[in-house]
Structure 1
Amino acid sequence: MHRPRKVTWGRVATIAVVVVCVGYAPIAITEIWPYSQRGAPAFGEWLLSRAVSPRYVADALATRIGPYGHSLAALIVHTVLGGALMLLGPVQLLSAVRRRVRLHRAVGAVFAVTVYVSMAGAAVYLVRTAPGDAFSGAAFWIVLATLLVGTVMSVTYGIAAAIGKLPDLHQRWMLLCYGFLMSAPLLRLEWGVLPSLMPGLSMADINRVAIMHLGSVVAFGALLASRGLDKRRTVAGVVGTWAPTPVLAMAHLAGAGAVAWIVWCYLGWGAEGQRMLAGYLVPYAVVYGVMAVRQRRAGREGRSWAREEWRLHLTGLCLAPVFSVAAGLAFERFMGLDRQTALTAGVTIGCGMLAFAATTAVSLRVLYGRELVKRERAAAAAARGTRQIAGTV
């Protein structure tokens, strides 16, 4: 008799991601069709109308006819190829796990080209759409622009890591890239689920709550996937930490001050501010708790590499509110946004931006370690050569 396989969280998460991606692909592909041809199928609208109400969907989409009409061709390219990326992503993940190298490389090349072309379509839409005309306002426009840049840069760094024969870094950047792409289906899920928790709100209101935490959720998911696939206890040349206790303590203090400022601001903006604050703080606290526990556990178990990666990301998470406050002040001053919109824009991109920065720090940590190993080997070879010369004299 065959013993049943043990079901792990990693396996469950992989299956869930594949199901969400495959299920969302036809929704993404058909999302813009009704704006170019009346009566065209739109599976997303059909599902959302039945999950919430037809009025909920109709009121939201009625405001999109003008902005989408200016960039229909670009949006169709973006959404159709976005649906293709939802299918290519699971193939890439499974081929990497099963070590199907040729398939992984071939699909990877198609994936990268598709990302660039799809994001080019999104860029055309953003350039032609004023921030205030974006769905639910300027904060969402800033979120979309940031996701676009983060996705393109992540896939570019992933390609560079693959060319440089750095599979561990390639894996991290591609997972972060796909995490940013996963923000699209996860946002649609929140459009359908949050109305049951917050009845009576429009889709635009729901969208404002959802984007408060979406960046932290997708970046955290990419980190969990990276750590789940990386079983190494140590990495050659990586000794000590770039986030010692004093640095981590200062990051905590700065982050606590910024969070206090964010809380004070949102509590002064009534019921809407309180909803948005809850949408930010609850997921942030969960992500912080998991990171803090994981880095401490890795230290106790002697897994120095896991501890270092968790600490770098924990430092980034602590500094995310500081970045959010600074970005909010910049948006208010240089984009002419009101304080609530400006701070919301800063909060929505803070965790994603600092996760990107932390992944960069992890990459530099690995590259620095490799350089140290090369120098040590060169010094050892030179010492051996010197001893051999001395022995022949």
Structure 2
Amino acid sequence: MDRPSRLGGVSWRRVATVTVVAMCLGYAPIAMTELWPYARPGAPAIGEWLLGRAVSPQYVADALATRIEPYRRSLVPMILHSVLGGMLMLLGPVQLLTAVRRRVRLHRTFGVVYALTVYASMAGAAVYLARTAPPEAFDGESFWLVLATILVGTTLSVTFGVLAALGRLPDLHQRWMLLCYGYLMTAPLLRLEWGALPWILPDGLPMEDVNRVAVMHLGSVVVFGALLASRSLDRRDSLPSQGGTWAPWPVLAVAHAAGAAALVLLGRSFLEHGAEGRRLLVAFLLPYAATWAVMVWRQHAAGRDGRPWALEEWRLHLTALCLAPVFSAAATVCFERYMRLDALTALSAGVGIGCGVLAFAATTAVSLRVLYAREVVRRAAPKRDGARPAESRREGVGTK
């Protein structure tokens, strides 16, 4: 497995787990009360109160003034979405802890509740998006596209996670459910950045501009967190009959070259839009570069330590990360040409969804890699009357 680093005798994995659980527990009541003032003016909203004191009441009031009509048109679906979203913030840590402690029956029970809650919450979000024209979204068409992408990614991830559980593939179930929860974590992290970024960015920026900065990197942050969690929980050094890599050095080199060319293209496009373009470019590049550096380091460490399965998974995700700018550049052209978006809006939308979409593709590739290795073992194993070969038994995540 990927050995956790330690600081003062405490593993980074434990620190990360405690941090995520604390954030989820803190955000749950904020999510559940977020839409109350739209149903009953004057009703308390914890998130608004905290954000008003972190930045200023006027900062919050200016942003929420434009939300009254779009939210009221879909108030019931939005309340359903926000209340169930708060429940998911509580159910996620419960699922993680029951899985780690191997409380199988409890984990399955809460897993059914979790999956149904995801579907119901995403249904509420889908109704809101269907009733809201893209220009009427919080900061316009780019955020509408980002929200729609998160909706699709979350729904597909939980579906694949359920199918993996039904197929008794615990390692794949774990990866898809962590990716699903990563997409859900964009909500609390976005609220956190609404309060933190105004202290870094120029004074007087409205929340819509702060939101555009945040979505430049939230996709890469949450899916990278899901990958780190998956790797820390997978203790296998290799897969049975793993064979060669699906991401050999020539493929990785081509992906790096294509990604570098796309980054240059995206960078030039951002710089054409003055101060706002430079702000969005920095918000995208810094987390992207940090993620790339960690992936390169971890795949090097896995190869050095003789852990071929860890090396393979890091390579597949690194390839996808390199191709994310290529996808973003192509999506930008499509948004500008077929949706008639202005250049900066199309660019923001393309970059905002790139890493999230390619992480989904990478998780799909990892899943197919696991299934392929198991199929090779199944076909190579000798057939026995009345017994199944030991080599064909499905492995749990915790085995080597």
TM-score interval, smaller chain: over 0.9
Q: Is the 8 A contact 1:237 1:368 kept in 2?
A: no
Find 2:54's aligned residue among 51, 54, 66.
51
Which residue of structure 1 lines up, in the alignment, with residue 315 of structure 2?
311
Matches for 1:338-357 after TM superposition, within 5 Å: 338-357=342-361
Instruction: Verify: 1:160 aligned to 2:139, yes or no.
Output: no
Find 2:101's aligned residue among 78, 98, 106.
98
Instruction: Specify the SS of the correspondent of 2:204.
Output: coil
Find 1:247's aligned residue among 228, 251, 259.
251
Q: Distance in 1 between matches of 2:307 and 2:384?
A: 27
Letter of the aligned partner of 1:165 in structure 2? R
Q: Distance in 2 between matches of 1:367 and 1:281?
A: 34
Which residue of structure 2 lines up, in the alignment, with residue 384 of structure 1?
none
Instruction: Verify: 1:145 aligned to 2:152, yes or no.
Output: no
Instruction: Verify: 1:289 aligned to 2:297, yes or no.
Output: no
Q: Encode CA deviations 1:37-60: one digit per residue, 9 max, x unaligned.
A: 111110000000000000100000
Matches for 1:297-336 after TM superposition, within 5 Å: 297-336=301-340
Q: CA RMSD in A?
A: 1.1
Q: Distance in 1 between matches of 2:131 and 2:52?
A: 29
Q: Encode CA deviations 1:99-128: one digit per residue, 9 max, x unaligned.
A: 111110000000000000000000000000
Which residue of structure 2 lines up, in the alignment, with residue 120 of structure 1?
123
Find 1:182's aligned residue among 181, 185, 188.
185
Which residue of structure 1 lines up, in the alignment, with residue 280 of structure 2?
276
The structure having more radius of gyration, on CA atoms, is 1
Q: Distance in 2 between matches of 1:68 and 1:352?
A: 26
Q: Encode CA deviations 1:101-159: one digit per residue, 9 max, x unaligned.
A: 11100000000000000000000000000001000110000000000000000000000
Q: Encode CA deviations 1:344-377: one digit per residue, 9 max, x unaligned.
A: 1010000000000000000000000000000110
List gaps (5 residues or longer) in structure 2. Answer: 1-7, 386-400
Q: Provide closer, same or farther for how the CA distance between residues 315 and 379 of structure 1 changes in structure 2, counting only shifts above 3 A.
A: farther
Which residue of structure 1 lines up, in the alignment, with residue 137 of structure 2?
134
Q: Encode CA deviations 1:148-197: one digit per residue, 9 max, x unaligned.
A: 00000000000000000000000000000000000000000000000000
Q: Percent identity?
A: 68
Instruction: Specify the SS of the correspondent of 2:363.
Output: helix
Displaced runs of 4+ in structure 1, greater than 6 A? Answer: none
Q: Distance in 1 between matches of 2:384 and 2:261?
A: 49
Q: Distance in 2 between matches of 1:309 and 1:357?
A: 12
**Deviation of 1:231 (Å):** 1.2
Between stretches 33-42 and 363-372, larger displacement belongs to: 33-42
Instruction: Verify: 1:61 aligned to 2:64, yes or no.
Output: yes
Letter of the aligned partner of 2:225 in structure 1? G
Q: Distance in 2 between matches of 1:87 and 1:264?
A: 42
Instruction: Verify: 1:236 aligned to 2:271, yes or no.
Output: no
**Deviation of 1:7 (Å):** 1.2
Instruction: Specify the SS of the correspondent of 1:252.
Output: helix
Find 2:362's aligned residue among 358, 361, 379.
358
Q: Distance in 2 between matches of 1:66 and 1:277?
A: 32
Q: Distance in 1 between matches of 2:39 and 2:265?
A: 45
Q: Distance in 2 between matches of 1:369 and 1:380?
A: 21
Instruction: Specify the SS of the correspondent of 2:238.
Output: coil
**Deviation of 1:379 (Å):** 7.4
Which residue of structure 1 lines up, in the alignment, with residue 111 of structure 2?
108
Which residue of structure 2 lines up, in the alignment, with residue 211 of structure 1?
215
Which residue of structure 2 lines up, in the alignment, with residue 226 of structure 1?
230
Which residue of structure 2 lines up, in the alignment, with residue 256 of structure 1?
260
**Deviation of 1:378 (Å):** 3.7
Q: Encode CA deviations 1:208-242: one digit per residue, 9 max, x unaligned.
A: 00000000000000000000101110111222210
Query: May I ask how many residue pairs the two structures share in their alignment?
Result: 377
Return the structure number with greater relative CO, CA threshold 8 A, min gap 6: 2
Q: Distance in 2 between matches of 1:208 and 1:143?
A: 10
Letter of the aligned partner of 1:40 in structure 2? A
Instruction: Specify the SS of the correspondent of 2:160.
Output: helix
Q: Distance in 2 between matches of 1:11 and 1:118?
A: 29
Q: Distance in 2 between matches of 1:343 and 1:138?
A: 11
**Deviation of 1:380 (Å):** 9.7
Letter of the aligned partner of 2:65 in structure 1? A
Q: TM-score, normalised by structure 2?
A: 0.93
Between stretches 328-337 and 170-179, larger displacement belongs to: 328-337
Q: Give the structure with the higher percent helix.
A: 1
Letter of the aligned partner of 1:57 in structure 2? V
Instruction: Verify: 1:38 aligned to 2:41, yes or no.
Output: yes
**Deviation of 1:200 (Å):** 2.1
Q: Distance in 2 between matches of 1:94 and 1:200?
A: 42
List gaps (5 residues or longer) in structure 1. Answer: 382-393
